[in-house]
């Protein structure tokens, strides 16, 4: 098979693979009409706002039943819609500004001051949790007893302070909220925040001072308006999955909220978790790992709900117990995700080439720890990849150099047998055998690089560490396109030089195709993340240097 044809088909296959992955993402979570565009009445009502999903207590001695269709509780309206600042507790750490609702003790707002919305708006932090109508995105938790009472996510709680701040010499910050019943049940809901971390611990400290046992179950739920961004080639955020996900201790699944109406999530297991993810960020609810939790879902009025409810908790008279959970609200920092819960790092979606992308990112991370610049890290990793396959590419380069030396003899054969294609092919193959040249050997390095190219594409697109990471001069964000298209142009020039160092295809038509190939790639790469273009540019420059050196040693003109 012709060398050029193999290369073109390999490149086409790689592009088709990336397109197929994007098609999967597009069809995993269809865009629905944002809640903000739906009519909302001036006064809250059961028709205008979705009512909270209330868990039901199972029969004594059994595990929590999986809820089915969400039940609307007419008098109750979710406390987390349109919070009054006076009803919230503000918590500030070195990486967080969180608001906790006094009604239910829910997480209703989370600002990430370390991560600005964009380079142009450095003082505007990314906001994950939000209680604004139409953009609802909250984490609700509670305990519910057999009478549908207890400190649910709608119950008023008390707190000693309205503002908490992590002191410079402080590593841990705790925020307690308390509920007491007339019968003598006291529950303290304690949030624990840690310096430099986005995982948050939750513990219910339960004391039963009544004369009868108290039965309840704990639950965690994420409610969010489903407003995925419209797909745009100019917005890298729109290329990633945006929606609910579920981990069942063995598999990681992206969920479609539209499916919740007919096939709601229904599972009972240990070691699972729920999350709502978007490009570079997520919010996850991780129940206690040593108990069987029931997982369920619902989707109504543009909001989806993911919920985990625990087994029946029995607290005898004059005794105390506790139950714990964890949350992760923040960027997809892989090390912190892995430390928070098994499988949580899977939310960094590298696709089917994750086995290749994860080691690539690990190497990038280690080099970054040494040089402190992601752009130079990309160049160094490219050099390491080139060194890894040096012998293979050298063999290929020698074959290309031999092919280049045969160009005059090949042209003579073309002139002699220009009217007999079959005879021409036979004579060319005889010449290749005589000179011990493999015309297909030059495509092998390209075939090997395609998986690395695709894996690197997803590393640069999905790794939050690359978000707004500067390189040098005008390249201030390696995860977005070069604003002046300088890197794509340099890459096209390097590809053109590389092409001139290699033998021209014997077919004039194919030769013309090869001539315009650098132009096609320049246009194609113009809208790719600049970090990816930097990788391909570095690879092309190293390939040019290697092929030039081989041609020089073999005295090829």
Per residue in 495-523, pLDDT (tens digit) is 888 877 766 665 666 667 777 888 888 98
Give the residue ranges of the chain where pLDDT is below 50. Answer: 1-10, 12, 18-82, 556-557
Query: Is 377 in contact with 368 (CB distance < 8 Å)?
Result: yes
Contacts of 233 (CB under 8 A, 6+ apart): 527
Pairing of strands 163-165, 88-92: parallel
b or e along 15-40 (b: 16 or more beta carbons within 10 Å of the residue's beta carbon)? eebeeebeeebeebbeeeeebeeeeb
Q: Give the model's pLDDT for residue 231.
A: 62
Contacts of 540 (CB under 8 A, 6+ apart): 491, 494, 495, 498
Q: Give the model's pLDDT for residue 37.
A: 30
Q: Give the model's pLDDT for residue 331.
A: 96
Quick one: which of 78, 83, 193, 192 has its CA closest to 130?
Answer: 83
Q: Give the model's pLDDT for residue 385.
A: 84
Q: Give the model's pLDDT for residue 108.
A: 96
Q: Give the model's pLDDT for residue 23.
A: 43
b or e along 354-370 (b: 16 or more beta carbons within 10 Å of the residue's beta carbon)? bebbbebbeebeebbee
φ and ψ at residue 421, rounded to 5 degrees:
-65, -40
Task: Identify the CATH class of 31-333.
Answer: mainly beta
Residue ranges per domain, the chain? 31-333, 357-553
The DSSP secondary structure of 276-291, one letter per residue, reads EEETTEEEEEEE-TTS
Tell me what percent of the residues of the chain surpass a pLDDT of 90: 47
């Amino acid at each position: 098979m012709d060398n050029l044809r193999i290369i073109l088909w390999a490149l086409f296959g790689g592009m088709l693979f990336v397109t197929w992955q994007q098609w999967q993402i597009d069809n995993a979570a269809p865009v629905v009409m944002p809640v903000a565009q739906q009519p909302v009445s001036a006064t809250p009502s059961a028709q205008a706002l979705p009512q909270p999903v209330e868990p039901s207590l199972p029969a004594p001695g059994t595990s929590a039943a999986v809820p089915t269709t969400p039940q609307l509780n007419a008098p109750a309206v979710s406390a987390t819609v349109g919070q009054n600042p006076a009803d919230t507790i503000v918590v500030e750490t070195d990486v967080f500004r969180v608001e906790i609702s006094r009604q239910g003790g829910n997480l209703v707002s989370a600002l990430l001051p370390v991560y600005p919305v964009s380079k142009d708006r450095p003082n505007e932090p990314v906001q994950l949790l939000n209680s604004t109508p139409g953009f609802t995105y909250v984490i609700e938790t509670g305990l519910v007893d057999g009478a549908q009472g207890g400190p649910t996510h709608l119950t008023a709680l008390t707190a000693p302070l309205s503002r908490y701040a992590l002191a410079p010499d402080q590593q841990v910050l705790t925020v307690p909220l308390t509920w007491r019943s007339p019968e003598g049940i006291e529950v303290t809901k304690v949030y624990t925040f840690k310096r430099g971390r986005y995982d948050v611990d939750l513990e219910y400290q339960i004391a039963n001072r009544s004369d009868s046992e108290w039965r309840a179950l704990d639950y965690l739920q994420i409610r969010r308006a489903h407003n995925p961004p419209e797909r745009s080639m100019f917005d890298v955020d729109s290329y990633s999955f945006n929606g609910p996900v579920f981990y069942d201790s063995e598999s990681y699944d992206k969920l479609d909220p539209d499916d919740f109406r007919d096939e709601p999530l229904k599972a009972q297991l240990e070691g699972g978790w729920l999350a709502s993810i978007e490009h570079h960020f997520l919010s996850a609810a991780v129940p206690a790992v040593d108990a069987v939790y029931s997982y369920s879902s619902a989707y109504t009025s543009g909001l989806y709900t993911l919920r985990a409810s625990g087994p029946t908790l029995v607290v005898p008279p004059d005794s105390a117990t506790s139950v714990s959970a964890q949350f992760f609200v923040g960027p997809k920092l892989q090390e912190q995700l892995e430390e928070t819960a098994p499988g949580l790092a899977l939310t960094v979606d590298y696709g089917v080439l994750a086995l290749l992308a994860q080691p690539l990112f690990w190497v990038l991370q280690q080099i970054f720890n040494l040089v402190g610049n992601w752009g130079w890290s990309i160049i160094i990793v490219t050099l390491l990849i080139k060194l890894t396959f040096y012998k293979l590419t050298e063999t290929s380069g020698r074959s290309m150099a031999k092919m280049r030396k045969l160009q005059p003899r090949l042209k003579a054969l073309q002139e002699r047998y220009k009217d007999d294609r079959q005879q021409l092919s036979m004579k060319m193959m005889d010449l290749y055998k005589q000179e011990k040249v493999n015309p297909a050997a030059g495509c092998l390095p390209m075939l090997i690089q395609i998986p690395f190219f695709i894996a690197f594409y997803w590393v640069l697109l999905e790794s939050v560490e690359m978000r707004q990471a500067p390189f040098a001069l005008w390249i201030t964000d390696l995860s977005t396109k070069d604003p002046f298209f300088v890197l794509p142009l340099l890459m096209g020039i390097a590809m053109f030089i590389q092409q001139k160092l290699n033998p021209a295809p014997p077919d004039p038509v194919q030769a013309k195709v090869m001539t315009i190939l650098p132009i096609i790639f320049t246009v194609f790469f113009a809208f790719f993340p600049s970090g990816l273009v930097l990788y391909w540019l570095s690879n092309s420059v190293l390939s040019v240097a290697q092929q030039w050196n081989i041609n020089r040693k073999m005295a090829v003109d």
